[in-house]
Structure 1
């Protein structure tokens, strides 16, 4: 040893000199300006967390004076990222199986029109999830949440209630079109002109020890036919980009 003590910071302290003081941990070890900035950031995060928890509480709480007066503000905060579904903890949990089906009206290459059979969209998602250790979020929730979104924003006559009703229509229509287009229901040259959806709701059979009697006959909710709009069509990789049609036409004339 050379007679020098190593300070906490790794520096050497001379004989008889006090060791350098260790820096205080956490925010206290920062310079005053940084301490103020860190404290302000913590205050902002704490306020945002309190507001978020309060909004969630008001969203799931029974109707009250606050929700009646400020329901629009609460909905804007919650939807769509923080939507809550507490049906699992309801006094009467869901006792029905809801399956979503879709079919298409095709415009054939010969100029005719024909309608496909019903495609079991929910069953296809279930088959993709069954046996999968890591099923995708899309397979589990996209179709189910889209249907819940539609039902919750329409009345019993399938009339949209507010702007969310119109949004839900476009959303579920695009999902149906993309699913049907993936199945390629028509022949070469056939195009999907319209799509239609329906739900098939079946009661879950009560357990053997229960005296409850329920009908196992499925109930259907039929939605209207929706024409496929240009915005519903996915972008094709082989479509010419802006400014390319003239070049493609010139190349075709040069052949």
Structure 2
């Protein structure tokens, strides 16, 4: 900067100061986003979320995270039309398929580890009560789940065109260790979503929903 003329030195100093301010502001916002609840986040939580979400979302928390207490599996079934009739498939455990792909795999993909899990968290968080269901992020989370379900069903030979799908979660408590006397209910509890009619918006690129086979006939 010493080689610059005075006006350029002033402009460079202002630019560096602005960059430094934005960087410090960003680090502060991210810190508040991942920090435990405190006075600042209670008073300015909306401003923090508006800054961080969705581009800079962090899926971790400072200090001790809550230990896993439940196993949540996402399952789907479909209503398939073929040969002039309709039938409903058994429940297909999508989470179990991801688990099988990850197990004994030294380099599991990010999709196998996080796509379905994060999508369900996204949906559940924005459908926790009726007041959120009509919001933009609630509708976006539903569309995301529907598209993932259709992509996963593409790998299954269902024998016809998928007309409707239904998604549910199966939640089981994590059993206590053998040395503990704690009694934990490990029976599955289900949350079933309504049936969704498959539309063109549910079929991302490369996904036919059984329509490609129908066109071939």
TM-score (norm 2): 0.81
With over 3 angstroms needed to count, the CA separation of the structure-2 counterparts of 1:106 and 1:63, relative to structure 1, is farther
Q: Choose the corresponding residue for 1:167, options 136, 140, 151.
A: 140
Task: Within 5 Å, give how 1:38-53 maps onto structure 2.
Answer: 39-53=13-27
Most deviating of 30-39 and 91-100 = 30-39
Deviation track 1:161-218 (CA, whole Å, cap 9, x = no partner) reads 62211110000111001111221322xxx21111111111111111122221101211
Secondary structure in 1 aligned to 2:154?
A: helix
Question: Any gaps of 5 or more consecutive residues in structure 1?
Answer: 1-26, 239-255
Count matched residues: 206
With over 3 angstroms needed to count, the CA separation of the structure-2 counterparts of 1:55 and 1:133, relative to structure 1, is same
TM-score (norm 1): 0.70
2:110 alignment counterpart: 137
Q: Choose the corresponding residue for 2:96, options 106, 123, 127.
A: 123
- 1:79 paired with 2:79, answer no
Task: Within 5 Å, give how 1:61-100 maps onto structure 2.
Answer: 61-62=36-37, 64=39, 67-68=42-43, 70-86=44-60, 90=64, 92-100=66-74
CA contact (8 A) 1:99 1:199 kept: yes
RMSD (Å) for aligned C-alpha atoms:
2.8
- 1:177 paired with 2:150, answer yes
With over 3 angstroms needed to count, the CA separation of the structure-2 counterparts of 1:34 and 1:135, relative to structure 1, is farther
* Structure number with larger C-alpha Rg: 1
Task: Within 5 Å, give how 1:182-221 maps onto structure 2.
Answer: 182-186=155-159, 190-221=160-191
Most deviating of 35-44 and 164-173 = 35-44
Deviation track 1:101-144 (CA, whole Å, cap 9, x = no partner) reads 11111122x22111111111111111111222221111110000
Q: How far does residue 95 in structure 1 lie from its aligned partner after superposition?
A: 1.3
The higher-RCO structure (CA 8 Å, 6+ apart) is 2
Q: How far does residue 61 in structure 1 lie from its aligned partner after superposition?
A: 3.8
CA contact (8 A) 2:150 2:207 kept: no
With over 3 angstroms needed to count, the CA separation of the structure-2 counterparts of 1:236 and 1:135, relative to structure 1, is closer
Secondary structure in 1 aligned to 2:87?
A: strand
